[in-house]
Structure 1
Amino acid sequence: MPMTASLPTGGALPLLDTDVLRTFVAIAENGSFTRAARQVFRTPSALSMQIKRLEETLGHPLFVREARQVRLTPEGEVLLGYGRRLLKLNEEAVARFLAPSLAGSVCLGTSDDVGTRILPGVLCQFARTHPAVQVDVVVGRSVELIRRLDEGELDLALVTAGNPGQEAWRGEVVHTEQLTWACREGGIAYQRSPLPLSLASHGCAWRDTALAALDRAGLPYRIAYSSEHCAGQEAAMLADLAVAPFPLSLVRPPLRRLGEEAGLPPLGDYQVSLIRRAGGGDASETLASHVMSAFGSLRH
């Protein structure tokens, strides 16, 4: 049913907020408030309030909410075209008048589980504000990233805290999250004995935490699959061949979190640290601030 909107006194048309337009475009392109919220680093409820105000301003519903997704109304499809053009024009105008104050290159190392969550948004924002800086990204195991940073190959490294050989004082904790047991929805791998595990390679804090917890609980297990990347762990879970210790935010359908019915010991929290190379320079420090801001947004 069409919404109603009236012009303010004097007939002046309202202005569209670029931040709200960015939210609208993100939802339209993702087909989901939840996925869009991760992209713009806000909560789904905050996005919902923005869209409600936008719909009230324009006097038309913009989305049709369905069970698992949202789709654009005809009016929403029209606004999407305008929104993309307005955002691009805004970026061009800002870039025209704000000469880049930073130049050079930064090399950032990250583990794959961290990179998939925050890097797209960080790199996009950093490229808009500092287009003259080249950012190189290296994905690898935390222990390997620390070695490469110490050898001067990396300027920054996002690593899982508590890895073997990593001094506790190194780096700044930027993220804390619950580590949980996960399996495929409807799967039976967790019912097998010994418990089949899908783990990261030796030297991973998740691996050490999970094995220590199972040993303390006296539960029999076998390491069925081992991978350097969390995508390998996930593949074994999706095939219902094993269970794995996983960050709670990465447990998404068709995976599920194992509850008390599995009888598995709690794993507690794990932390992500940001380590800087001494003398990395202004570009490195600026990128570090973007990374920290992105993780801070995840907590709100």
Structure 2
Amino acid sequence: MFDLELLRTFVCVVDAGGFTRGGERINRTQSTVSQQIRKLEEQLGRPLLLRQRAGKSIHLTEDGERLIGYARRLVQLATEAHSVVCAGAEAGMVKLGVPEDFDVQQLMTLLSGFARQHAEVRLDTFNGLSVDLYARLEGKDIDLALVKRDVGQEPGAYPVLASWPEHLYWVAGYGLQSIVSPVPLVVFGQGCIYRNRIIHALESAGRTWRVAFSSQSLTGIQAAVSANLGISLVPASAVLPSHRLLREQEGFFPVPPSELALVSASRLMPNVQRKVVDYLTAHLEVSNVIKKATTAH
């Protein structure tokens, strides 16, 4: 069996780039660190580090390269287990799915605010389209998810804990003044609610369309619209000053609002997940206001 203390020393030495700096991270002298590395090498029967005394630098041997990834995972898992047990029953980890087009700044504000109130809880986030997040919920890969859906949609297998309406806007770049059929579309991949809304709206109006650009990234969608590759349908928070709003006179009529819903993988939630739900319900806001710089044009 591996000695976790020796593995921790090994990881610190590699990450710090030397015995002395590695020792400083774990409050050990250079000689003690050298002894621990030597002991680990003796247990394995092979060298892990190549020492270059002149430059005071170290390099991994081939066996060291094989071990370092496992060592990091073992040390991280041991640290996590220790933290959870010592923190008591209230500690834990919650995995939250977040839509691909969720505002990054708002997400960071939410995460930092939650961390200040609940330092004992680790909150991991996973990005994806709503269809991907539902698949993760089904596979129990995540505990909670913020998903895009039709307003009032039946909850199905996953209970809706809270919801926020969001208004959608047709946008194009300022260089794309005349939009003729087939209408060039800038869209997310198949399964995206915005993509479905665009196609349904255009076909209902008797207009033909073509996919000019597709991306799994909100940044990619925004940039493609700004570059005049095509038109798109986005929430207010995703409209940039480099986008112009398409008008009814151009044949782009308002579409029904969608909603951002917080859903759970299970109806029975542990207390640690309830903390996340309560915080998001109290602090999450969906922006339906477009910047003045955009609406002025």
Tell me the TM-score normalized by structure 2.
Answer: 0.61
SS of residue paired to 2:101: helix
Work out whether 1:121 is the aligned partner of 2:109.
yes
Residues 214-257 of structure 1: CA distance to partner in whole angstroms, max 9, x if unpaired? 11101122111122232222121011110101112321211222
Listed one character per residue, the Cα deviations across residues 77-121 of structure 1 (whole Å, up to 9, x for unaligned) are xxxxxxxxxxxxxxxxxxxxxx99831111101112225263112
SS in 2 for 1:192: coil
Matches within 5 A, 1:138-149: 138-149=126-137
Is 1:214–2:213 an aligned residue pair? no
1:187, CA displacement in angstroms?
2.0
Give the TM-score normalised by structure 1: 0.60
SS at match of 1:183: strand
Q: Deviations over 1:259-289 (max 9, x none)?
A: 2232213222111111112244112111112
Please give the root-mean-square deviation of Cα atoms over the aligned residues, in Å: 2.8
Q: How does 1:1-300 map to 2 (within 5 A)?
A: 102-116=90-104, 118-162=106-150, 167=156, 170-184=159-173, 186-188=174-176, 191-278=179-266, 279-296=268-285
Distance in structure 1 (CA, Å) of the matches to 2:132 and 2:228: 30
Shift of the 170–201 alpha-carbon distance from structure 1 to 2, 3 Å rule, reads: farther
Q: Which runs of 5+ in 2 are unaligned?
A: 1-86, 290-297
Contact 1:107 1:136 (8 Å CA) reproduced: yes
8 Å CA contact retained: 1:189, 1:196: no
Partners of 1:238 and 1:204 in 2: CA distance: 20
- Contact between 1:196 and 1:241, CA under 8 Å: does it hold in 2? yes
The answer to whether the Cα contact below 8 Å between 2:222 and 2:238 also exists between their aligned partners in 1 is no
- In our comparison, the structure showing a higher alpha carbon Rg is 2
- The one-letter code of the counterpart of 2:182 is P
* Whole-angstrom distance in 2 between the partners of 1:256 and 1:299: 16
Q: Do the aligned partners of residues 138 and 101 (structure 1) sit closer, same or farther apart at CA in structure 2, a change above 3 Å counting?
A: same
- 5+ residue gaps, structure 1: 1-98
Check the 8 A contact 2:162/2:281 in 1, yes or no: no
Q: Letter of the aligned partner of 1:203 in structure 2? A: G
